[in-house]
A and B are shown apart, each in its own frame.
Chain A
Amino acid sequence: MEKIKKLSKYQGFWPVIVLLAILLINGIVSGGSFFEIKIVDAHLYGRLIDILRNGSKLMLLATGMTFVLATGGTDISVGSVMAISGAIACSIVDGRILPGAGQNVQVAILLALLGGMLCGAWNGFLVSKIKIQPIVATMILMVAGRGIAQLITDGKIVTVTSDSYYFINGGYILGLPFPLFIVLFVVVLVLLFTKKTAFGLFLESTGCNPVSSHFAGINVNNIKWLVYTFCGVTAAVAGLIESAGIKGADCNNAGLFMELDAILAVAIGGTSLNGGRFSVPASLAGALIIQSITTSVYAMGIAPEITAVVKAVIVICICLFQSPEFKEKMGKRFSGHQQERMAKPV
């Protein structure tokens, strides 16, 4: 019991519990087949693997978004940046642009990441140097981004045929989907950077109080610029995974409304949208929660007309569950009941 109490102090505790609960409910409803994992063509195959692979995009976005939200900002352009990065990569692999690159997949990936970085840097520039409100600053790219992507692909869905490009989404290492290793790599990198250097502290301090952080000698502007740039890069990686999954760049639909899912994932993870304390693992759990809700809606065969409502209800429940005020009130009522019962004479 003591141990559990200690664990529950961690920000990631409740999100992980919720995630496990959702999976457990699915397991019970499906009679255990939800957890079934088979080996098909020498790789693992099952719903849990689906959740991990399809959730990888959201996990990456949530990682980048956590930092942005930790500074008290927000980035609503990530969905469009995904479209841009997919458009760049697919157009190069297809030989539609830069034929000099010889349809080289590495060049395509590098340039797509560079594109994402530029988009992020642009957002960071608007927010930190020009001091535009983050939601407005990133809205520019959110609206214009899909247009840029359309320009790159000439308004068409560019289909690619390259096995090495498919590997980004469909590949397997040790029987596990490749996107999972990308997430692992990014997260380890990020955790080392925030836990083993002072950067994490600076970030939290920037989010809590930018003015006093500034006077304490932290370069608040540069930190903001950096996190938006990083968020752009994670969005670009997510865009690569998405486009590799459908073997093409679909500028209209790639990453559509993903920015909202990403913000929701971070919020479910318990990071305040006002900035300050943050936890990347908690956000990852949040991302997996959202993905497993989607997967369970499919698995349970809920009618398409009501899926959106079902998802909303689950999210509301999770948010209520996370809110300390709500828990306190419910706790009072609950203990109040108990006292009443105890007070009753036998």
Chain B
Amino acid sequence: MKRIIAAILTVCIASLAFGGCASTPAEKPASTGTQSTAEVVSKAEGNKKLTVGFAQIGQESGWRDAETASIQFYAGQHVDTIDFKFADAQQKQENQIKAIKSFIEMGVDVIGLAPVVETGWDAVFTEAKDAGIPIVLLDRRAKVSDDLYTTFIGSDFITEGQNAADELAKLLNNKGNIVELEGTVGASAANDRKKGFDDQLAAKYPDMKVIASQTGDFTRAKGKEVMESFLKTYGNKINAVYAHNDDMMLGAIEAMKEAGMKPGKDIKTVSCDGVKGIFQAMVDGEANVTVECNPLLGPQFFETCQKLKNGETVEKWIKSQESVFRADTAAKDLPTRVY
């Protein structure tokens, strides 16, 4: 009896596993099929449209969903002028490479890519280059020689750190003690947000000091735990908190409230990203400033593509348009936030 059950289960699991594998390639030909018909139509129209192929990583986080939505929304609004082909790579590099190869075959004007990993792109980028199709990297970089891609559109974490320092200086009147909640050790966002912040303090605000710094792994729970400890060590000496992302700050806000302090008033806050939660906190008067890390790259991406099609040159690194949001406008901004 047991053997029979075991056998049935094995078959079930096996079929699940193979079914899972089979579904991915099965989807591919279907989507390329529709794309090639779309291409025929666009060629018939006289090839005046801007044709762009974009290979997205897949669904990963709220941030990436917002990026995808922004790009698709922009393309959807400009159907008359843009012929947009979208490929979802489901977190697999080979799917992205396949997508790029099919874009090359279709002869698109520009290929957009958010590389899922940094390495292994040389061959396919060379193919695109030989075909004369420029490659635009979005929000993540690829480790290839500079001549293989045309431009990179993405955030400058160092600038974000500098902006955070400027904002804190305004809140503190250029003077005070700061505790810092760092991101995951080694992550580029954490390294650069720290570097930009520290450099700016050293250069412009000699009376502002980081008295303690510890990693909170970009998570709420760790941010809270580290802040609890900071509050016990330094207590009233802390004038402000700088967190490398909003989630850690949301945790830290809880810790401050438990310690009987008023976040946003007794202790000023500046964090990065600009997620909805921190806007809610700003509306509630518990946070001061967030430095945006913008996923809404759609408009910039297509503007760049249009320039490339027109034969204009673009910069090697196009910094994404990012702004700083403060508590006084948070109530107005909150409904417009999409991530």
Is the CB of B170 closer than 8 A to any CB of chain A? no
Partner of A299, one of B65, B233, B254: B233
Is the CB of B166 closer than 8 A to any CB of chain A? no
Is the CB of B81 closer than 8 A to any CB of chain A? no
Residues of B contacting A47 in the complex (Cβ-Cβ under 8 angstroms): 229, 232
How far is B61's CA from A307's CA once the two chains are assembled, in angstroms? 28
Is the CB of A159 closer than 8 A to any CB of chain B? yes
Is the CB of A271 closer than 8 A to any CB of chain B? no
Residues of B contacting A170 in the complex (Cβ-Cβ under 8 angstroms): 254, 258
Partner of B229, one of A159, A248, A299: A299
How far is B228's CA from A245's CA once the two chains are assembled, in angstroms? 12
Report whether B62 and A298 are in contact in the complex, using a CB–CB cutoff of 8 Å. Answer: no
Segment of A38-46, A60-68, A115-123 in the binding face: A38-46
A34 to chain B, nearest CB (A): 9
Name A234-261 residues within 8 Å CB distance of B.
242, 245-248, 250, 253-254
User: Nearest B residue to A301 by beta-carbon distance?
Assistant: B212
> A46-B232, A245-B254 are contacts. A304–B225 as well, Cβ < 8 Å?
no
Report whether B225 and A298 are in contact in the complex, using a CB–CB cutoff of 8 Å. Answer: yes
B292 to chain A, nearest CB (A): 18
- Of B59, B228, B250, B277, the most chain A CB neighbours within 10 A belong to B228
Q: Which of the four size classes fits the interface of chain B?
A: 20 to 34
Residues of A contacting B220 in the complex (Cβ-Cβ under 8 angstroms): 157, 246, 248, 250, 253
How far is B337's CA from A156's CA once the two chains are assembled, in angstroms? 15
User: Nearest B residue to A156 by beta-carbon distance?
Assistant: B62
Residues of B contacting A46 in the complex (Cβ-Cβ under 8 angstroms): 232
Is the CB of A138 closer than 8 A to any CB of chain B? no
User: Nearest A residue to B5 by beta-carbon distance?
Assistant: A130
**What sequence of 0s and 1s flags, for each residue 13-29 of chain A, a beta carbon within 8 Å of any chain B beta carbon?**
00000000000000000
Residues of B contacting A299 in the complex (Cβ-Cβ under 8 angstroms): 229, 232-233
How far is B207's CA from A117's CA once the two chains are assembled, in angstroms? 55
How far is B251's CA from A242's CA once the two chains are assembled, in angstroms? 12
Report whether A253 and B221 are in contact in the complex, using a CB–CB cutoff of 8 Å. Answer: yes
Report whether A246 and B59 are in contact in the complex, using a CB–CB cutoff of 8 Å. Answer: no
Partner of B6, one of A33, A130, A246, A294: A130
**What sequence of 0s and 1s flags, for each residue 36-68 of chain B, a beta carbon within 8 Å of any chain A beta carbon?**
000000000000000000000001011001000
Is the CB of B182 closer than 8 A to any CB of chain A? yes
User: Nearest A residue to B225 by beta-carbon distance?
Assistant: A54
**What sequence of 0s and 1s flags, for each residue 213-246 of chain B, a beta carbon within 8 Å of any chain A beta carbon?**
1110101110011101110110000000000000
Partner of A130, one of B9, B214, B233, B260: B9
> A41-B260, A130-B6, A304-B182 are contacts. A246–B221 as well, Cβ < 8 Å?
yes
B254 to chain A, nearest CB (A): 7
Is the CB of B79 closer than 8 A to any CB of chain A? no
Residues of A contacting B62 in the complex (Cβ-Cβ under 8 angstroms): 155-157
List of 8 A-B pairs having minimum Cβ-Cβ separation, nearest first = A298-B229, A304-B215, A246-B220, A253-B219, A40-B260, A41-B260, A246-B221, A304-B214
Residues of B within 8 A of A (CB): 5-6, 9, 59, 61-62, 65, 182, 185, 212-215, 217, 219-221, 224-226, 228-230, 232-233, 247, 250-251, 254, 258-260, 277, 280
Residues of A within 8 A of B (CB): 33, 40-41, 45-47, 50, 54, 130, 155-157, 159, 170, 242, 245-248, 250, 253-254, 294-295, 298-299, 301, 304-305, 307
Known: A130-B6, A246-B220, A304-B185. 11 other contacts (CB 8 A): A40-B259, A40-B260, A155-B59, A157-B62, A159-B280, A246-B221, A246-B250, A253-B217, A294-B225, A304-B215, A305-B185
**Can you list 30 A-B pairs with a CB-CB distance of less than 8 A?**
A33-B232, A41-B260, A46-B232, A50-B228, A50-B229, A50-B232, A130-B6, A155-B59, A155-B62, A157-B220, A157-B277, A170-B254, A242-B221, A246-B220, A246-B224, A248-B220, A248-B277, A250-B221, A253-B219, A254-B221, A295-B229, A298-B229, A299-B232, A301-B212, A301-B214, A304-B182, A304-B214, A304-B215, A307-B214, A307-B215
